[in-house]
């Protein structure tokens, strides 16, 4: 059984939906620890005062915000906590928007929403109404000591919640320095590239894409554990842009 990471209430209008949150994702990356190469002993991170050159116990560490070179404003834990409303565990939906209007670039983390005991009717009602109206609820809640903007939507037969990035956090393509070619691609090249796209057209089947790097790392760990040295890698091709774009496109279509 999955374990919930947060319990609270979604509100919209005067309707309250008691819910639980679950992580929807998990990293499967192989994790390593830092070791001292010489004796394979674990590395410890220790805190030192940069002035006294002495180790500092955790209780003597406070949070500082650098206001100018080397000058810090120190905040107590309670003062940092004062940045967010405390107590009530509420996701207050402020608006609803058409699901198709939100570019997924705004979505950050994803969580699954489960119904709490006694909240089943309200949960089903909200899920049914979001589905039928094809809307997404936009709201805020305090999570991990930080007020988050969130989007609530129907997801795989459940309610799903995304934390949402703020508009000023996103870089626009217009802010980038993208070099323009002196010569634009010719119509024939665009047509050929379009045909190449068509030959690679497929349906999205997530299970088709395996993390082969993860598997190779696991294999390498086994080899090294058995005392075998890994084979030296084959040098990959250099990835130069084509001198003749048209010839490269033609060769790709023939391949």
Chain residues 26-85 in contact with another protein, contact rule CB under 8 A: 26-52, 56, 60-67, 72-75, 78-85
Instruction: Give residues 8-27 in contact with another protein (rule: CB under 8 A).
Output: 8-9, 11-16, 18, 20, 22-27
Least gap, CB of 128 to another protein (angstroms): 5
Least gap, CB of 77 to another protein (angstroms): 11
Cα(83)–Cα(199) distance, rounded to whole angstroms? 54
- What is the size of the binding site for another protein (CB under 8 A)? 186
Instruction: Give residues 179-208 in contact with another protein (rule: CB under 8 A).
Output: 179-185, 189-190, 193-194, 196-197, 200-204, 206-207
Least gap, CB of 114 to another protein (angstroms): 4
Give the residue from 44, 61, 6, 2 showing the smallest Cα distance to 26. Answer: 2
Q: How many CB atoms lie within 10 A of CB 207?
A: 5
Among 77, 152, 163, 234, contact with another protein (rule: CB under 8 A): 234
Least gap, CB of 241 to another protein (angstroms): 4
Cα(49)–Cα(65) distance, rounded to whole angstroms? 17
Helix (H, G, I), strand (E, B) or coil at 114: strand
Instruction: Give residues 147-176 in contact with another protein (rule: CB under 8 A).
Output: 147-149, 155-160, 162, 164-176
Cα dihedral sign, 184-187-189-195: positive
Quick check: 6 binds another protein (CB under 8 A)? no
Least gap, CB of 12 to another protein (angstroms): 7
Buried b (16+ CB within 10 A) or exposed e, 60-79: eeeeeeeeeeeeeeeeeeee
Least gap, CB of 142 to another protein (angstroms): 8
Give the residue from 24, 164, 151 showing the smallest Cα distance to 98. Answer: 151
Among 5, 6, 77, 105, contact with another protein (rule: CB under 8 A): 105
Phi, psi at residue 140, to the nearest 5°?
A: -135, 150
Q: Within its chain, how far is the Cα of 68 from the centroid?
A: 32
Among 5, 6, 69, 122, contact with another protein (rule: CB under 8 A): 122
Instruction: Return the DSSP state at 59.
Output: G
């Amino acid at each position: 059984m999955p374990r919930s990471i947060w319990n609270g209430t979604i509100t919209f209008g005067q309707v309250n939906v008691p819910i639980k949150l679950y992580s929807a994702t998990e990293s499967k990356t192989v994790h390593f620890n830092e070791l001292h190469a010489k004796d394979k002993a674990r590395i410890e991170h220790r805190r030192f005062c940069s002035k006294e050159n002495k180790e500092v116990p955790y209780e003597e560490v406070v949070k500082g915000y650098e206001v100018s070179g080397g000058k810090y404003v120190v905040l107590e834990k309670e003062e940092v906590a004062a940045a967010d409303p405390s107590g009530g565990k509420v996701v207050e939906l402020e608006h609803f928007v058409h699901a198709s209007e939100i570019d997924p670039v705004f979505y950050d983390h994803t969580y699954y929403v489960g119904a709490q005991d006694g909240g089943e009717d309200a949960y089903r009602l909200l899920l049914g109404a979001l589905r039928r109206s094809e809307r997404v609820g936009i709201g805020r809640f305090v999570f991990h000591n930080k007020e988050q903007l969130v989007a609530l939507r129907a997801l795989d037969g459940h309610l799903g919640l995304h934390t949402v990035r703020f508009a000023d956090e996103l870089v626009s393509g217009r802010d980038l320095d993208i070099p323009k070619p002196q010569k634009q691609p010719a119509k024939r090249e665009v047509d050929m590239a379009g045909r190449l796209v068509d030959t690679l057209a497929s349906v999205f089947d997530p299970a088709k894409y395996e993390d082969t790097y993860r598997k190779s790392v696991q294999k390498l760990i086994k080899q090294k554990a058995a005392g075998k040295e890994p084979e030296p890698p084959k040098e990959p091709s250099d990835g130069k842009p084509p001198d003749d774009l048209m010839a490269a496109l033609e060769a790709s279509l023939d391949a």
